[in-house]
Amino acid sequence: MKLYNIKENDEQVSFGQAVRQGLGRNQGLFFPSQLPFFDDIDSLLAEDFTSRSSKILSALIGDELSEQQVSELVNAAFQFPAPIKAVKDGVYALELFHGPTLAFKDFGGRFMAQSLAAVSDGGKITILTATSGDTGAAVAHAFYGMDDINVVILYPKGKISPLQESLFCTLGKNIHTVAINGDFDDCQALVKNAFDDEKLRQDIGLNSANSINISRLMAQICYYFEAAAQMSKTERENLVISVPSGNFGNLTAGLLAKALGLPVKRFIAATNANDTVPRYLETGQWDPKPTVATTSNAMDVSQPNNWPRIEELCRVKEWGLETLGKGAVTDTQSAESVKELHELGYLCEPHGAIAYRVLDQQLAEGETGLFLCTAHPAKFKEVVDDILETDIDLPGPLAKHAAMELLSEERDNDFDALKEVLYAAQK
């Protein structure tokens, strides 16, 4: 697999380099130089989730890893299903929250962890990341127990929900969690300091595991095929897919699935009040506003970092941007949709409900609609309980971790203190 830097096209890397490096020069994103195309979609869709996913990813990765190796990565990463559920006539929910941290980020995080181990040159790897909640959990669980990879996760002490904290601070082994006396921006600044320290970087093999890593998107391509595979041939012929979007990685993966041959009639980019992309698609002006806090906080992003990949893909495939559906949804409207879905017998949290709402408004006669449910409703328990005036149950993994002892260390917002933790984690 060859990839190029979208900003500086002369920088070309292999899959292994792209996974290890994350970003290219000048903060440029990597994009595949060539995309395979599957002619016989019906027989591909007839396969089971993991063998089909191995085929897709192997075709993308090419001869850098053997088919056998790719299949091992996929089997280790995708240990949970991605079922579709009929919500009403012609409308399905794709449930992406059956992994260990109950959000779709488990797919990308786990595949990235496996890929990084597979392409490692045998040196030390330390994953350092700052989290305001969800990413930390997915990264911690994805790398948990892996040999030769240490993970250090920083979070603002007292500023994430106790439920979130319990999900990633109770693991131990190679997962080190540090509660910083500061806010999320302080944590991010500490991470940045660490990456700017060349000696530290070399000594401990720093890597960030963040969401721009191409391996994450590659994993996410697979569940779009899995959704279509669960529909009849007629249903999937006029398929419209609505994606609740923040950094736009998920939508990029969907469009890549289409580029590989998955027949999708139309995609819809659904956002909350952070509506840079819907406004851009409407007016042609890229005009990000300050980020506002919403009840769908995993989508509170006003400068989506995967957007350049979508523009690049549309350029390469000669797809007009106007073919993308779009819509922005307020908190009041998403609450209405959570209620509406509940009345239809489907429990959904605000991120999924936003995708449902825009889909429902724009779906035409004869089309089949699919909206992505990116998180388990219990992950947003406070919001969902509040909207539905109920008290939803915690699923097994959340309840189990909530009862476990927190293992975090506490540190001041101080780079030397962080360095000590990073070197100590090597032992």
Ligand X SMILES: *Cc1c(COP(=O)(O)O)cnc(C)c1O
Strand locations in 123-250, DSSP E?
A: 125-130, 149-156, 175-181, 206-207, 239-244
Choose which of 156, 182, 246, 369 interacts with ligand X (CB under 6 A): 246
Choose which of 92, 111, 224, 248 interacts with ligand X (CB under 6 A): 248
Q: Tell me how far apart the alpha carbons of residues 180 and 25 are, in angstroms, rounded to a whole number.
A: 30
407 backbone φψ class: left, alpha, beta (φ>0; ψ -120 to 50): alpha
Q: Tell me how far apart the alpha carbons of residues 75 and 385 are, in angstroms, rounded to a whole number.
A: 35
Quick one: 105 or 258, whose CB is closer to ligand X?
105
Quick one: 41 or 219, whose CB is closer to ligand X?
219
Tokens (6 digits) for 298: 């995993």
Task: Find all residues with CB under 8 Å of 257, minimum gap 6, and list them.
Answer: 221, 224, 225, 264
Choose which of 44, 45, 93, 103 interacts with ligand X (CB under 6 A): 103
Quick one: 5 or 306, whose CB is closer to ligand X?
306
Quick one: 108 or 156, whose CB is closer to ligand X?
108
Site size for ligand X (CB under 6 A) = 15
Choose which of 105, 141, 157, 401 interacts with ligand X (CB under 6 A): 105
Q: What's the closest the beta carbon of residue 223 comes to ligand X, in angstroms?
A: 12
Kindly indicate which of the ranges 48-56, 244-252, 257-265, 363-371 contains the residues binding ligand X, using the contact rule CB under 6 A. 244-252
- Determine which helix (DSSP H) or strand (DSSP E) holds 84, and give its type and residue range: strand 84-88
User: Taking CB under 6 A as the rule, does residue 134 contact ligand X?
Assistant: yes
Q: What's the closest the beta carbon of residue 96 comes to ligand X, in angstroms?
A: 9
Strand locations in 137-188, DSSP E?
A: 149-156, 175-181
DSSP letter assigned to residue 342: H
* Closest by Cα among 347, 358, 116 to 241: 358
User: Taking CB under 6 A as the rule, does residue 247 contact ligand X?
Assistant: yes
Q: What's the closest the beta carbon of residue 425 comes to ligand X, in angstroms?
A: 26
Quick one: 115 or 306, whose CB is closer to ligand X?
306
User: Taking CB under 6 A as the rule, does residue 163 contact ligand X?
Assistant: no
Binding track over 295-334 against ligand X, x by CB under 6 A: ---xx-----------------------------------
Quick one: 126 or 247, whose CB is closer to ligand X?
247
Choose which of 250, 295, 333, 408 interacts with ligand X (CB under 6 A): 250
User: Taking CB under 6 A as the rule, does residue 245 contact ligand X?
Assistant: yes
* Closest by Cα among 110, 196, 16 to 3: 16
Q: What's the closest the beta carbon of residue 42 comes to ligand X, in angstroms?
A: 29
CA distance between the termini of the chain: 35
Choose which of 182, 249, 254, 278 interacts with ligand X (CB under 6 A): 249
40 within 8 A of 260, measured Cβ to Cβ: no
- Determine which helix (DSSP H) or strand (DSSP E) holds 371, and give its type and residue range: strand 368-373
351 within 8 A of 214, measured Cβ to Cβ: no
Q: Tell me how far apart the alpha carbons of residues 326 and 275 are, in angstroms, rounded to a whole number.
A: 10
Quick one: 258 or 351, whose CB is closer to ligand X?
351
Residues that bind ligand X (CB under 6 A): 103, 105, 134, 244-250, 298-299, 351, 374-375
